[in-house]
Amino acid sequence: MHTKHTFASIAGVIALLLLSGLGLSTCHAKEETPTPIFAFASDRNGAGEIFVLERDNQVRNLTNHPGADWEPTWSPNGATLAFTSHRSGNSDIWLLDLAKSDNELQPRNLTNHAAWDYNPAWSPSGQSIAFVSERDGDPEIFIQNLQEDTALQLTFNEGMERRPAWSPDGKYIAFAAVRNGIEEIYRIRPDGTDEQLVTPHPVQGTSPAWSPDSQRLAFVGWDEENRAGIYLIGPTVDEVELLYQSHTWLGSLAWSADGQWLTFTAWETGNHDVYALPTTGGPPIHLTTDPAWDDFLVINPMVSFTPSSAGNIAQAAPALSSPTPPPVAAGVNIADLSLAYLVNDMGFTWAKSYVNWATVEPEPGQFRWVDPDNVVKAFGDQQVKILMRVHGTPAWARPEVSDLTHPPTDLGDFTDFMTALVTRYKGQVAAYEIWNEPNLHYEWGYLPPDPATYTALLQTAYKVVKKIDPDALVISGGLATTGNGSATAYGDLTFLQGMYDAGAKGYFDALGSHPYAYGRSPDDTDADGLSFSRVVEQYQVMQANGDGDTPVWITEVGWVLQSSWDLGEHSPVGVTEAQQAAYLARAYEKTAQEWPFVEAFFVFNLDFSTVPWYPAAEPMRWYSVLTPYRTPRPAYTNLRQIILAP
């Protein structure tokens, strides 16, 4: 896979599509206005940038900036693009006036706020923009006039608001909101009154888009069987039509000015491409086929748009995997199971998720399997191998006044749980990681970490797994990189030696490690052991104990991004998006090239920035390689290019 695409090659790809009948034919409403046909965003140059298709069928890169640019949207007169950009170090809404000459084509920062702003949507007057901002601590809808420096907050909810869309008649702003774990479409007046739920039960929905006459509302929805589709509501609220259904992810809806077409993004062929769908019914038309992540295609409102039918796709392709296994098994920690297809998109073969014993067995012998069932189904559907971390002790299995992370009082209770767990998922879960960072006091019930007690827990799990599912692997709980330790942390090398002293050898198939680098490059070595290369010293302890044939699995590694929020101990080690991308790519390459004893490398994390249960100031959100509006950060693009490179 190419890591860089020239402008000529980009233009050639789409021009070829156009000339071969896979693209568009156009007629222009105002020939005297040199407006592009459409705009879209793509990471084909390494970071998100805004592109336009000109009338001569040439593709032009408008932004060409190392800071990621996404989510273009046209002003009503087709003269200005609003888009989301990270070029200021945060995420802001920027404006680009295309009526100016190339020499004057400089974007203007509209929102300029320390918190993250994204998802811009124009008012029908072209004088204001609605957008999502996290300045209130969670994603809410705001409105800002183009001539003002401050924004008006429109929603005040504890959930997560997404994707505002202003109706062309100016009466409503539709938006998606995640409340009580369900994402649905709402509408609200621009003054913040008369909020109403729009989507009919049991359909869930996101990415609303108004028709040009404001009579219909399109959205991406999911039915009771979790099948994605494009729906239309209207002209009355009782009229709901399923326009198109897919087995894969859909998003980024936009209408053509004449109401005849909906453009959307999909992973139909194992890649993020943009499509056009006739609103009168019929199959979608494939518009771009670049191996990069193409998204947010929006048709200029001053252009008539008629794509050719020659590019129809008969059916979706199956989930893709890397053509050849990567030198080190690559995996990722994931929170939102609807994004499981992205594991394949990156070329990874493993995904890590979590099972909370306390949630699954709230009372002795009473099991609620819904969460791990969903994990196994989501990753199984994508043919991805599962590393399942087991953690969390139910209140009934630990002392009365104790924390969730407290080890169980009776290992017999843990034996019974592991027996039920492994029996249920035999042949479906490839590996189990037992507990999380047991050398930290808050991961050990706020007790002094105890390698001997942890070893007994590990031995118990190993015996159960090997008895019931001998092919499944047992990974020891990932050790936190703690150097010589502190009042709240046990030194990782000392803890590991304590495990061997307690008889851990032979009771794990791989040592779990979390070699976070505390903001340093993967090639930097810290004198106190707080660096990525700490994994080498951990392996040396294994060798000293005659266990050099047992591999190491890096089950978490990542770099936290700089943020305007107080991230506690994570704040001083924050890096830029460019550094995060370079460090994760180098860490994977270093592991593959220099450390043959490491068999697996799991990125932390894919998507914790996108889920509603983490507020803006939660540090785990800032390790994600997806943005809060689910576009790829440069780290995602870099890793994908490395894994999928021929």
- Tell me, yes or no, if the two domains 7-311 and 329-644 fold the same way: no
pLDDT of res. 308: 66
457-461, 462-466, 612-616: which range is least confident on average? 612-616
Q: Is the pLDDT of residue 491 over 70?
A: yes
Q: Nearest-5° angle of CA 79, CA 81, CA 86?
A: 155
Residue type, 592: A
Mean predicted confidence (pLDDT) in 415-444: 98
pLDDT of res. 404: 97
Residue 74's beta-bridge partner residues?
A: 81
Q: Is the pLDDT of residue 16 over 80?
A: no
Q: Is the pLDDT of residue 307 over 90?
A: no
pLDDT of res. 320: 41
214: left (phi over 0), alpha (psi -120 to 50) or beta: left
Query: How confident is the model over 570-616, as pLDDT tens digits?
Result: 999 999 999 999 999 999 999 999 999 999 999 999 999 999 999 99
pLDDT of res. 224: 80
Q: Which pairing describes strands 273-278 and 117-122: parallel, antiparallel, or unpaired?
A: unpaired
Q: In sequence order, what DSSP letters do the residues of 537-573 get, joined into one string?
A: HHHHHHHHTT-TTS-EEEEEE--PBP-SS--GGGGGG
101-110, 226-235, 355-364, 477-486: which range is least confident on average? 101-110
Q: Where do the structural domains in the chain lie, given as residue ranges? A: 7-311, 329-644
Q: Is the pLDDT of residue 17 over 80?
A: no
Residue type, 508: F
Query: How confident is the model over 522-579, as pLDDT tens digits?
Result: 999 999 999 999 999 999 999 999 999 999 999 999 999 999 999 999 999 999 999 9
pLDDT of res. 101: 63
Q: How much is the pTM?
A: 0.92
Q: Is the pLDDT of residue 311 over 60?
A: no
Residue 147's φ and ψ, nearest 5 degrees, are -100, 5
Query: How confident is the model over 367-388, as pLDDT tens digits?
Result: 999 999 999 999 999 999 999 9
Cα separations in angstroms, 19 against 11, 196, 294, 313: 12, 46, 20, 18
| 496 three-class SS | helix
Q: How many CB atoms lie within 10 A of CB 639?
A: 24
Read off the pLDDT band of 32 (50, 70, 90): very low
Residue type, 578: A
pLDDT of res. 227: 87
Structural tokens at position 33: 């206005």
Whether cis (ω within 30° of 0) applies to the bond prior to 157 is no
Dist. CA 323–CA 321, nearest whole Å: 6
Q: Is the pLDDT of residue 314 over 80?
A: no
* Element housing 487 (H / E): none
Structural tokens at position 149: 């420096």
Query: How confident is the model over 36-88, as pLDDT tens digits?
Result: 899 999 999 889 999 998 877 788 999 988 899 999 999 999 999 999 999 99
Q: Is the pLDDT of residue 12 over 80?
A: no
pLDDT of res. 288: 87
Q: Is the pLDDT of residue 3 over 60?
A: no
3-17, 331-345, 526-540: which range is least confident on average? 3-17
pLDDT of res. 385: 97
Mean predicted confidence (pLDDT) in 485-502: 97
pLDDT of res. 638: 95
Output DSSP code: residue 37.
S
Mean predicted confidence (pLDDT) in 489-496: 98
Cα separations in angstroms, 571 against 137, 574, 617, 623: 17, 6, 11, 12
Query: Do residues 465 and 474 make contact, with C-beta atoms less than 8 angstroms apart?
Result: yes
Mean pLDDT of the chain: 90
Alpha helices in 258-303 (DSSP H): none
Q: Is the pLDDT of residue 199 over 50?
A: yes
Query: Do residues 280 and 262 make contact, with C-beta atoms less than 8 angstroms apart?
Result: no
* Element housing 578 (H / E): helix 577-594
Which is more confident, 130 or 222?
Answer: 130
Superfamily grouping for domain 7-311: TolB, C-terminal domain (2.120.10.30)
pLDDT of res. 324: 63
Q: Is the pLDDT of residue 186 over 80?
A: yes
Superfamily grouping for domain 329-644: Glycosidases (3.20.20.80)
Which is more confident, 99 or 119?
Answer: 119
| 580 three-class SS | helix
pLDDT of res. 238: 84
Q: Which of 434, 561, 416 is nearest to 90 (CA)?
A: 561
Structural tokens at position 259: 């109401």
pLDDT of res. 2: 29
Dist. CA 566–CA 570, nearest whole Å: 8
Dist. CA 368–CA 233, nearest whole Å: 36
Q: Which residues make Cβ contacts (< 8 Å) with residue 539, sequence separation at least 6?
A: 511, 548, 552, 595, 597
Read off the pLDDT band of 626 (50, 70, 90): very high
- Name the CA radius of gyration of the chain, rounded: 26
Dist. CA 302–CA 36, nearest whole Å: 9
